[in-house]
Structure 1
Amino acid sequence: TDGNDWCILRLGKSGVIREVDIDTNHFIGNFPSHASIEACAMPEFSGLDEIIGNGEWVEILPKTELNGDSQNIFQISSEQSFTHLRLHIYPDGGVARFRAYGSPSYTSQNENKLIDFALGDNGGELISCSDMHFSHMRNLIKSTTGIDMSDGWETKRRRGPGYDWAILKLGSPCIIERVLVDTLHFKGNFPDSCSIEGCNAPDIKKKEILSNIIEWKEILSQSKLVANQESVIILNLNSPITHIRFNIFPDGGVSRLRILGRSVL
């Protein structure tokens, strides 16, 4: 039948690709006969749907024959800087390793990078949550990728109505532009959906956060989540936010929460 398999990779840093290695070691009777590579440049924290649908993909390696049980090394002539690669294999088969070599780009664009205001390193602080039966809420704002389920925030199963929540003080008052909810490692126990409420209360004390004096405003309506995957949601907000309440329905595990935006200070 027609068609081929493919995968999309995010580069560690944006940069110019000089050489690629499509390694088929140990694949003798089941390696792809051919491969091609496309590349695109996307804003940081772009979601998968954005990358697939809006990425301006450029072919940097045309459909080329591969050898089995070999390192297939190809030179790349493009001088463009890219953030993502899409490896196509024809029609299917096995690849042991895929490596891309090149020069990272350090440009003034970094001045406009979105900041993760949930991150502990940036001053984010988790204040309270409804439950942390299996693992601690503070794991949500670690800078590293989750190691396993115990390295995320997981609540116990609910046997009645309601939902779980966590309240987070952001590192600085900010205009939130994107939210990233990562359910890495959570496959049968991820939340069905989530929502986020926010408030602008820079001078409020911790003990007052849990009282009814806070006027929470919904900034993300209840949205479906996917198992073992990052969900990136674009927001269109005009008002600064200092605190958020992250709600998960009905319960479950989330590896990381990123609140991405720009400071108003």
Structure 2
Amino acid sequence: MTYLAATSSFDPLKWVNLADARLGARALSVTDDWFADVNRMLEPSEPVWKEGLYDDNGKWMDGWESRRKRGSGHDHAVIRLGVAGTIRAIDIDTRYFTGNYPPSASVEACYCPEGDPDGDTSWTEILPSISLQGDHQHLYELDSNGVWSHLRLNIYPDGGVARLRVYGIPYRDWSSHPQHQAIDLASAMNGGRALACSDQHYGHMGNILNPGRGVNMGDGWETARRRTPGFDWVIVALGHPGLIKQVIVDTHHFKGNFPDHCSLLGGYISGGTDDQIEAQSLYWQELLPAQKLTMDSEHRFEAELNEIGPITHVRLNIFPDGGVSRLRLLGLIDTAASTTGSR
């Protein structure tokens, strides 16, 4: 296991935050969260500062904060990830914690496919102790192919962490999935990832792959108003190659700002890198011809789909701009591809 501070070329937003509360991540135990509830650390929103806001225990802080330790030992929190997966990077964020941040922290992990860890569980250190600064994001890339379901965040000796983000690829044992049962191959829970887009001024592209329906406009992908010719688009890598049988484009909450229509291109990519995906998408086949969209609605397309064979990636085009809450790509897994785990 090796780690290093993230380089400027590493884009965490191309990966899935496995510790996102929207995916079901939650804290199972914590030594102390007197000042601020540990589960605030897993919220998908950016941390905020609320001047002058206090509760019964002291200053309200947007994150996890323990009391000042007056004895030996250190504080820690055990977290069940929203979905098990391989971890590419960890961000320990101390924003707004200035005189109350931990001087250092480390992260351990385990894999419990059934249930949660107990006293007999073996933990592996995936991020050795690192020095922390106040009001700062600490993003570290990991070099590991292990699959993990739970983390233990150790802070030395006490203090506050605004956000813990764990970027990686969800794991799924595709060999156990019935070949003739359709599944959402684009879902973040199944390893789907948003890789690139033309614009994401109001809402991040990865939101369209989250489970459930969007809670508001901010929980979707929305572009700025286009003032030049053209259209907006987002490219998604499927969790596993497959044959798409149904497409769902959901404009939930988007009423005066939904796209006029949309289309989908699909391609089977067997090489290259994520940063070259835009160029490759120029030659993909049309999976869904242009379809009219309406506000605040789920649009389901089946008969409209073209048969283009198994694909690994799609490009959703929206004309000319606007917001999409969710994209679902229901399909059958391609049994010719490896079915060991998520791509």
TM class by shorter chain equals 0.5 to 0.7
SS in 1 for 2:39: helix
Task: Specify which of 159, 164, 173 is matched with residue 252 of structure 1.
Answer: 159
8 A Cα contact 1:119 1:142, kept in partner? yes
**Which residue identity is paired with 1:124?**
A
**Correspondences of 1:142-153 after superposition (within 5 Å):** 142-148=43-49, 150-153=61-64
8 A Cα contact 1:117 1:123, kept in partner? no
What is the aligned length?
158
Q: Provide the residue aligned with 2:7 in structure 1.
A: 50
Post-superposition shift, 1:50?
2.5
**Which residue identity is paired with 1:179?**
I
Post-superposition shift, 1:162?
0.6
CA RMSD of aligned residues (A): 2.0
Q: Provide the residue aligned with 1:218 in structure 2.
A: 125
Q: Provide the residue aligned with 1:105 in structure 2.
A: none
**Which residue identity is paired with 1:228?**
D
Point out the more displaced range, 122-131 or 239-248.
122-131
Q: Which runs of 4+ in 1 moved over 6 A?
A: none
Hey, what's the Cα distance between the residues in 2 that align with 1:264 and 1:150? 33
Post-superposition shift, 1:240?
0.2
Q: Provide the residue aligned with 2:168 in structure 1.
A: 261
Q: Which has the higher contact order (CA 8 A, sep 6+)?
A: 1
Q: CA deviation digits over 1:133-175, x for unaligned, max 9? A: 1010010000111113511110001112111001111111100
8 A Cα contact 1:196 1:247, kept in partner? yes
SS in 2 for 1:150: coil
Q: CA deviation digits over 1:179-220, x for unaligned, max 9? A: 001101001110001000000101024xxx3x3111111111
Task: Specify which of 7, 14, 23 is matched with residue 122 of structure 1.
Answer: 23
Gaps of 5+ in 2: 50-59, 173-343
Q: CA deviation digits over 1:212-250, x for unaligned, max 9? A: 111111111111111101000111111100000000000
Hey, what's the Cα distance between the residues in 2 that align with 1:115 and 1:258? 9
Q: CA deviation digits over 1:3-62, x for unaligned, max 9? A: xxxxxxxxxxxxxxxxxxxxxxxxxxxxxxxxxxxxxxxxxxx97x723xx69xxxxxxx
Task: Specify which of 96, 103, 127 is matched with residue 192 of structure 1.
Answer: 103
SS in 2 for 1:121: helix
1:155 correspondence with 2:66: yes
Hey, what's the Cα distance between the residues in 2 that align with 1:262 and 1:117? 8
Task: Specify which of 243, 252, 260 is matched with residue 150 of structure 2.
Answer: 243
Hey, what's the Cα distance between the residues in 1 that align with 2:170 and 2:37? 28
SS in 2 for 1:138: helix
Hey, what's the Cα distance between the residues in 2 that align with 1:165 and 1:226? 18
Q: Provide the residue aligned with 1:233 in structure 2.
A: 140
**Which residue identity is paired with 2:149?**
T
SS in 2 for 1:260: strand
1:166 correspondence with 2:166: no
**Given the two structures, how large is their TM-score scaled by the length of structure 2?**
0.44
**Correspondences of 1:32-181 after superposition (within 5 Å):** 50-51=7-8, 113-148=14-49, 150-181=61-92
Give the structure with the higher percent strand.
1
Hey, what's the Cα distance between the residues in 2 that align with 1:230 and 1:150? 16
SS in 1 for 2:166: strand
**Which residue identity is paired with 1:230?**
Q
Hey, what's the Cα distance between the residues in 2 that align with 1:118 and 1:264? 14
Q: CA deviation digits over 1:60-112, x for unaligned, max 9? A: xxxxxxxxxxxxxxxxxxxxxxx9xxxxxxxxxxxxxxxxxxxxxxxxxx8xx
**Given the two structures, how large is their TM-score scaled by the length of structure 1?**
0.56
SS in 2 for 1:197: strand
Q: Provide the residue aligned with 2:289 in structure 1.
A: none
Identity of aligned residues (%): 32
SS in 2 for 1:139: helix
